Structure 1
Amino acid sequence: MTLERRDGVALWRQIAETLESDIKAQVFAPGKQLPTEAELAERFSVNRHTVRRGIAFLEQEGLLRVEQGRGTFVQERMVDYKLGKRTRFTENIEKQSRIPSGELVRAIVVSADETLARNLHLRKGAPVALIESVGKVDGRPISVAAHHFPAKRFPEMIDVYKKTRSVTKALAHYGVADYTRKETRITARLPTASECRLLELPRSQPVLVTESINVDAEGRVVEYGWGRMAAERAQLVVQP
């Protein structure tokens, strides 16, 4: 395909318009990788610098994302992740007619450090069940969550979780029929090497970090957790 030079319309702009039309026509579906710069340069009979300008424009417009070392991808629809009195990953995603799934990263018993002891109302060194998992939407990872539970109150929590594959069902096993969010703190930073691997993110893309406390009907802390969410794939919606 050879682009025709049009008065007042740069070649890179024509490339951007063509790729945008391709995206709208589902030639390149959300999440799909575009051809390489070299392949696009050959397609449009231009140099790679011209292709790069067109891609950079579409990236600024939010239609594409460029991942260092991986390539250029069509941006997926943003997930609205709601934080409210009851925050449940599966429920949040299913309400948006999307498919939630998860992958267990690790499940171990650790000794409470100062932070865990303070937030779980335990003595320092007390056993804590740690369950860390990756949350996925339509098969693509969007978050890494670490859940901490007082092991004395919830003995064998790890085994129960592995059977139920659900924090809500695991807590129900111990008689906690409902739990609510007491507080959530939100910050942002660049991802660690581990988070880049789990979330399939480049080091230049930030993550939203949440720190939360959940309590039972009597106000007792049942879970202290923190999550790291890919900022380019989800936005946090705080509800009263």
Structure 2
Amino acid sequence: MGEEPTAAAGRGAHSRAGRGGTPLWRHVRDDLKARLEQGEFTDSFPGENELAARYGVSRHTIREALRELREAGLVTAAKGRRPRPVGEAVIEQPVGALYSLFASVEAAGLEQRSIVRALDIRADAHVAVRLGLEESTPLLYLERIRLADGEPLAHDKVWLPASDARALLDADFTHTALYGELADRCGLRLVGGEERIKAVVPTAAEQRLLDLPDGVAAFSIERLGRTHGRTVEWRTTLVRGDRFSVVTRFDARTGYRLDPAGNRFTRSRRSARRLDAVR
């Protein structure tokens, strides 16, 4: 980051600006805007108290400047949370690991909350086939809007066999991890699976659901989760592309494992049957 202005420098600059009749918040806004455009604040963005001390102005002045920056689409902030530059990829998912979005959000220093849209038992023939079950098998269905620091991050839908997961009907998923509840309430732990991630252009309905600005893509994630010897989870997640990134490690011997044909998941590792036929 570049050199920060001192509180004394801020007081001097803004006292001169005050005599000229220009509102102090405009000078703060313009200075912050210039620094954002120069790529500063990549590690973190100062909070209101810190900015007020740096510029030698009141928190009200800082709030006015930040409000203008939010309206210009340069920063974003939820109530009670520190602002940050828009487009900052703060949440990372490791490739090749059984990750938890809950854990990934909190590891980034953000508060994870969810809006539960559905939690019930239902039948879904297509999903049941993906899980290797009879089409009429009862499934527990959980649908959530995942929030990070109060802002929409992902639209998450998961299906599990009701015979395994019925106890989850009593769980409060507004602030808890599915895999933790699955282990504690049902004695079921996932040990692996398969996941496909691709970039998509969200529909208008999906844009509204995730509060996505125009021109921002999303990640579509499909996951089959397995416990020992059987598949127990089918999950689809749509994640904002401006708040999420995928990371992996590679070496000269193994490199990456790619699937250029874009093949769909199979029922199990022992089956060669494609699932395209049931879509």
Asked if these proteins are the same fold (TM beyond 0.5), I'd say: yes
Counterpart in the other structure of 2:142:
131
Task: Tell me the TM-score normalized by structure 2.
Answer: 0.58
- Largest Rg, 1 or 2: 2
Pairing 1:234–2:244 present: yes
Cα distance, 1:238 vs. partner? 4.1
Aligned length: 191
Which string of whole-angstrom CA distances, capped at 9 and with x for unpartnered residues, describes residues 84-134 of structure 1?
4321122212222222222212223232222x1232111112221110111
Distance 1:77 1:156, change over 3 A: same
Pairing 1:223–2:233 present: yes
Distance 1:204 1:166, change over 3 A: same
Identity %: 20
Counterpart in the other structure of 1:168:
179
Counterpart in the other structure of 2:43:
none
Q: Which runs of 5+ in 2 are unaligned?
A: 1-16, 18-28, 41-45, 52-61, 77-83, 251-279
Q: Report 1 or 2 for greater relative contact order, CA contacts < 8 Å, sequence distance ≥ 6.
A: 1
Partners in 1 of 2:147 and 2:196 — Cα distance? 22
Pairing 1:98–2:135 present: no
Amino acid at match of 1:96: A
Q: Secondary structure at the match of 2:119?
A: strand
Matches within 5 A, 1:1-240: 19-21=33-35, 33-34=70-71, 74-83=85-94, 84-114=96-126, 116-160=127-171, 165-172=176-183, 173-176=185-188, 178-202=189-213, 204-216=215-227, 218-238=228-248
Cα distance, 1:145 vs. partner? 0.8
More strand by share: 1
Task: Tell me the TM-score normalized by structure 1.
Answer: 0.66
- CA RMSD after TM alignment: 3.4
Counterpart in the other structure of 1:43:
none
Cα distance, 1:180 vs. partner? 2.9
Distance 1:229 1:163, change over 3 A: closer
